[in-house]
């Protein structure tokens, strides 16, 4: 019975310490997107996030399409891995949402309509 209580306490502590966090950036003010992103990846960081620097080129990911939203996120899984490794390995996830329309084609069409 005592080991059962310890397991519950450890589980609650794990949930608290591996809380999720996210930073969302939108070039235009729109409602936060929640559907599947156009791009998703997990980047490795070490020593509680102090070691490791990663960049994602959103223009390369979206090409000529509009960039709708970018998000850096510590998911539950990322936090659990950081907890299990005592912070020595602390991954972070990145998500990017691209628009459906090709931005350059819209500009070309608008220029032709103006003529």
How confident is the model over 69-81, as pLDDT tens digits?
A: 888 888 888 888 8
Q: Is pLDDT larger for residue 55 or for residue 101?
A: 55
Output the pTM of the full model.
0.64
CB 103 within 8 A of CB 62: no
| 85-to-13, 20, 47, 52, 58 alpha-carbon distances in Å | 15, 17, 10, 16, 30
Domain boundaries, the chain: 2-114
- Tokens coding 67: 């960039």
């Amino acid at each position: 019975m005592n080991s059962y209580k310890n397991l519950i306490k450890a589980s609650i502590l794990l949930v608290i310490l591996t809380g999720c966090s996210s930073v969302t950036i939108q070039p235009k003010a729109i409602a936060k997107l929640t559907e599947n992103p156009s791009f998703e990846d997990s980047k490795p960081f070490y020593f509680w996030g102090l070691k490791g620097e990663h960049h994602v080129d959103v223009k390369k990911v979206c090409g000529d399409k509009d960039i709708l939203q970018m998000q850096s996120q510590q998911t539950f899984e990322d936090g659990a891995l950081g907890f299990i490794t005592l912070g020595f390995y602390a991954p972070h996830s990145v998500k990017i949402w691209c628009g459906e329309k090709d931005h350059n084609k819209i500009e070309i069409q608008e220029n032709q309509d103006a003529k």
